[in-house]
Amino acid sequence: MFRTHTCNELTKSEIGTEVNLCGWVNTRRDHGGLIFIDLRDRYGLTQVVFDPSNNNNSFKIADKLRSEFVIKISGTVRERPEGMRNSKLNTGEIEVLVNDIDVLNKSKTPPFEICKTKKEHPEDLRLRYRYLDLRRDKMKNNIVLRHKMIKMIRDFMDNEGFLEVETPILIKGTPEGSREYLVPARLHPGTFYVLPQSPQQLKQLLMVAGMDKYFQIARCFRDEDQRGDRQPEFTQLDMEMSFVDTEDIIDINERLMIRLIEELLPDKKILKKPVPRITWHEAMEKYGSDKPDTRFGLELSNISEIVKNSEFKVFSDTIKKDGVVKALRVEDGGSFTRSEIDKYEELAQIYGAKGMANIIIGEKEHKSPILKFLSDKEVEGIIKETEAKPGDIIFIVADDFVTACESLGNVRLALGEKFELIDENLMALLWVTDFPLFEWGKEENAITASHHPFCMPHDEDIKLLDKEPLKVRAKAYDFVLNGSEVGGGSIRIHDRDLQKKIFEILKISEDDAKDRFGHMLKAFEYGAPPHGGIAWGLDRVVMQFAGEPNIREVIPFPKDQKARDLMLDAPSVMPEETVKEMHIMTTAKMDDVSPFMNLKEFLNKNHTHFEHLEHEPVITSEQAAKVRGTTLEQAAKAIIFETDTGKVMTVVSAANKINESKVKDLLKSSKLTLLTEEKLFELTKCKKGAVHPFGNLFKIKVLTDKKLKNNDEIVFNAGSNIDSMKIKYSDYLELVKPEIVDIT
Ligand code: ASP
C-alpha cells in the first residue's frame, strides 16, 4: 500500500502505530545526527525523522534527499518532545520515526522556492511552471476554494430544480460586445466557427425547448485586451429561467450568493441583507460607477442646479449641452500637496474628463483657481451641497453625465484606497438595476446595445423606442460584490416583433438579422415562453472570496497579460501544411512574433538541435552564467552598435571584454554608439541584455570574436531574460555566417 494516511491526518491518537506516508520533501534539516523532513502533500505537512541508530540505511538515503523529491516512508508515529510541538500544524503534536524509505522520484532544483509563501516570485516564471506554482499553499487553497464553491453551486441549483445542460463550444457568433475567437472549419473551406462569448442564445433556445430552469458552469471566450479581472477564457455560472420576472432572478441569486459567503467565509460580514438595490442612474450619481464599492461612503454630489447660470462658462455651457457638473468633497483634503492634486486630476483625465477643478475650503477664505469666476452664492451653494468644512477640498468635473460621474468615481476609488476606508472584513453586495437599453458607441459612432440585443425594455419605456431610444431602460440587473461586477443579466425579449424592432434601432438590417440571428427569430415563432437569466463571472467571485487582486490567481492555468499560455507556449506557430489544410493563409510577418518564438522557429526550420534553458530573470552575464549553470566563457554576448555605415552586431564571449577601438578600426567607422533601449527594442523586440546573437534575423551584419570558437557549445539569452539556449558553435556559424574577427 502506498500510504495509510495523508500528511495532514496523524495526531496523538495514532501514537505507536505503523504508518506509510507519501509526498514531496518540503524542507530538510540536519540536527545533531538526525535528519528532519517536512513531508508535504495536498492535505498538509508531517514531520518525519531519520535516526541512524534506528535504521542507518534509510538515514543514508535521507542524507541525499533534496527539495521536491517524491518519497514514500514507513515508520512509527511518536509524540514530539516537549518544546518541539507546532500548534500551527494539525500534525504538530507528533512525528514519524522512519524505518524504511523509497525514493519514488527525484526532482531538479525548482526555479523558485515552493515551501515559502511569503515572497512573491516573478509571475512569468510562476506561469511557466504553473504545476510547481500550484504546489504552493496559497495557490492550492485557491483551487480548493474554487472547487468548494462550484460544488455548492451545483448542489444548490439542483435543489432548486435546475438542469445542468452543456452547450457547444463551436458555434456561430453571439454578440456580447467583444471580439470573438474564430476557428477555421476544415470541412467547409473559407468558413469559421466562433467560440462562444457566452451561451446566451443557446440558453434562450433551451427555454424555447421547454427546459424551464437551466444552468451551466460554462466556459466563455472573449478576444479582448487583458486586465486584472479579465481573461480570454473564463468561467460563468450561467442560468436562465422561464415564466419569471426580475424579482425571481434576484431572489434565487441572492440566496445562493449569501449561502456561499456564509458557508465559505464564516468570518466575513455581509454589509446588508437583503441585498440593497440601486438604479444605474443613482449608482452613477452617487458613486460614479455602475459597479460601486459600497464598503465606504465618499459619495459624489450634483451641483448642476447651483452653477447652471454661472459666469464660469465651463460649467454653464456644459449644462446647456445636457451635461452635468459633479463634485466630490474630500474630508481634510485641503492638506493635499500640489502634486497630489495634479495626480488626482490626471486620474480623472484618464477616465475622459477634460480637467478637474478644485476648491480648498478655509475658515474665512477659500483657495481655488476658479474662485474668481464664481459668485459668493455659487460657492456657498457648492459648500452646502457637498457638506464641506474648513480643511476639506472639493473636486469638480463638468462633462457629459457618464464622463463626469465615471472620472470622479475613479478619483473616489483612489481616495478610498489612500485613506484606507475599505473594511476588508466586509462583503458588500449590491444589485444595480435599470440599465439603459442602449448607449452611444463612441467608437462605432452609432447606437449600440448596452448589454446584448436580447434585453427586454421596461414596459413603460417601450413608447420611447422610436423617438428617444437612449432614454429607454432595460429590465437588466448587475450583481456587484465589493466594487466588482460579478454578475449581469436581464429579462429577455420573447416576442419576435419587438426583437425585430430592436434590431432595426441597432441598424441591423433584416438580411443581416436573418443571417446572424435567423435561428433565434425562427425559434421565437414556435411559442417562446417569457424568460430571463443572468450569468456570474465565476472567476471574479472566487477572486473576491479569496481576497486576490488578480484573476490569474484563482485560475489553475491562466493566460498571461498578453493572452499567452507560458507553460504550453501557446499560441504557437503551426506548420505550414496544417495551416493550409484549414484553407487559410497568414498575413503575419515573423516580426510580429516574440523574438524567442522567432528564433525557435528559425532553428526548427533548419533542423538545428538546441537546448532550451529556463531560469529566473537575469540582467548581467555573470547572473546568467550562475542560474544556467554554464561557464562565462561559453556565453555569447550580443551587442548592437550604431556605426557610420549602419547597425552592427558584435558577439563576444562574456569572459572577454570588447575592444571598441578594434571594432571601429575594423569597420573604418568614426562612431560606435550603443543603441538606446528604445531603438534596441524597435529593432529586436528584446530588452537590454536579452538580445540573441542571431543578427541575421534582425537583418544586420554580425562580427563574432574569434575566441568564441574555443567552445564546442555556446549559450545565450534567447530573446528574453528568462530563456536561454545552448547550441553547437558549429551550428551557430553555419546559420549566422558571421565575420570572424579579433575584437577583444
Ligand atoms: N450572457 C450574458 C453575459 O455573458 C449574461 C446574461 O444576460 O445572462 O454577460
Residue 407's CATH number: 3.30.1360.30
Q: Are 447 and 470 in contact (CB under 8 A)?
A: yes
Identify whether 644 is part of a domain. Answer: yes
CATH of the domain at 439: 3.30.930.10
502: enclosing H helix or E strand: helix 496-505
Predicted local distance difference test score (pLDDT) of residue 104: 98
Mutate to test the pocket of ligand 1, among 167, 171, 174, 176 (most ligand atoms within 8 A of CB): 176
The grid cell for 735 is 546559420
Among protein residues, the one whose CA lies closest to atom 8 of ligand 1: 534
Three-state secondary structure of 284-324: HHHHCCCCCCCCCCCCEEECHHHHCCCCCHHHHHHHHCCCE
Pocket test for ligand 1, best of 452, 479, 538, 539 (most atoms within 8 A of CB): 452
| Residues spanned by the domain of 726 | 595-741
67 and 173 inside one domain: no
- CB count, 10 Å around CB of 558? 23
Question: Cα 658 to the chain's mean position, in Å?
Answer: 43
Q: Has residue 642 been placed in a domain? A: yes
The Cα–Cα gap between 696 and 683 comes to: 12
Cβ–Cβ < 8 Å for 218, 238: yes
Is residue 350, in this structure, part of any structural domain at all?
yes
pLDDT of residue 98: 98
- Domain shared by 170 and 252, yes or no: yes
Atom of ligand 1 nearest to the CA of 490: 7
Q: Do 520 and 625 belong to one domain?
A: no
Alpha-carbon distance 571 to 581, whole Å?
18
| 198 Cβ below 6 A of ligand 1 | yes
Mean pLDDT by 10 residues, the chain (744 residues): 97 98 96 94 98 96 97 98 94 98 96 78 91 96 98 98 98 80 95 95 97 98 85 97 98 98 98 97 98 97 96 95 96 95 96 96 93 94 96 97 97 96 96 94 87 92 94 96 96 91 91 87 94 98 96 96 91 86 81 81 86 85 89 94 94 94 93 91 88 94 95 93 92 95 94
Does residue 724's CB lie within 6 angstroms of at least one atom of ligand 1? no
258 touches 272 (CB < 8 A): no
Q: Which residue among 198, 205, 494 has the greatest number of ligand 1 atoms within 8 angstroms of its CB, and so is best to mutate?
A: 198
Per-residue confidence (pLDDT) for residue 321, from 0 to 100:
94
Residue 98 domain flag:
yes
Please give the number of the atom of ligand 1 that sits closest to the Cα of 451: 9
Q: Say yes or no: 610 and 701 in one domain.
A: yes
Q: Do 252 and 380 fall into the same domain?
A: no
pTM above the 0.95 mark? no
Cα(306) to ligand 1 centroid in Å equals 40
Distance 167 CA to ligand 1 centre (A): 14
Q: 397, 421, 445: which is the final residue of a domain? A: 421
Contact 639, 650 (CB under 8 A): yes
* Within a domain: 84: yes
CATH number at 95 reads: 2.40.50.140
Which grid coordinates are listed for 521? 427569430
pLDDT the model gives residue 263:
98
533, 554, 575 — which closes off a domain? Answer: 554
Residue 443 is predicted with a pLDDT of: 80
Residue 562 forms part of a structural domain: no
Tell me if 582 is assigned to some domain.
no
Residue 705: which CATH number? 3.90.960.10
Give the contacts of 197 (CB within 8 A, at least 6 positions apart): 173, 174, 175, 176, 178, 180, 220, 221, 222
185/78 same-domain check: no
pLDDT on residue 182: 95
CA of 240 to the centre of ligand 1 (A): 10
Question: Does one domain contain both 167 and 268?
Answer: yes
- Tell me if 564 is assigned to some domain: no
Q: Are 491 and 475 in contact (CB under 8 A)?
A: yes
Alpha-carbon distance 249 to 515, whole Å?
Answer: 31
Determine the Cα–Cα distance for residues 451 and 348; give it in Å rounded to an integer.
25
Look-up: residue for cell 462633462? 399
* Number of compact structural domains in the chain: 4
Look-up of cell digits 441597432: 506
Secondary structure (3-state) at 25? strand
Based on the fold, state whether residues 302 and 259 are members of the same structural domain.
no
Predicted local confidence at residue 117, as pLDDT: 60
Q: Are residues 607 and 734 in the same domain?
A: yes
Confidence (pLDDT) at 726: 95
Q: Which of 421, 453, 470 corresponds to the end of one domain?
A: 421
The amino acid that residue 338 corresponds to is R
- Pair 627, 723 in one domain: yes
Instruction: Note whether 159 and 86 are same-domain residues.
Output: no
- 47 and 25 co-located in one domain: yes
C-alpha cell of residue 590:
515573423
Residue 169 φ/ψ, nearest 5 degrees: -95, -30
Give the H/E segment covering residue 545.
helix 538-546
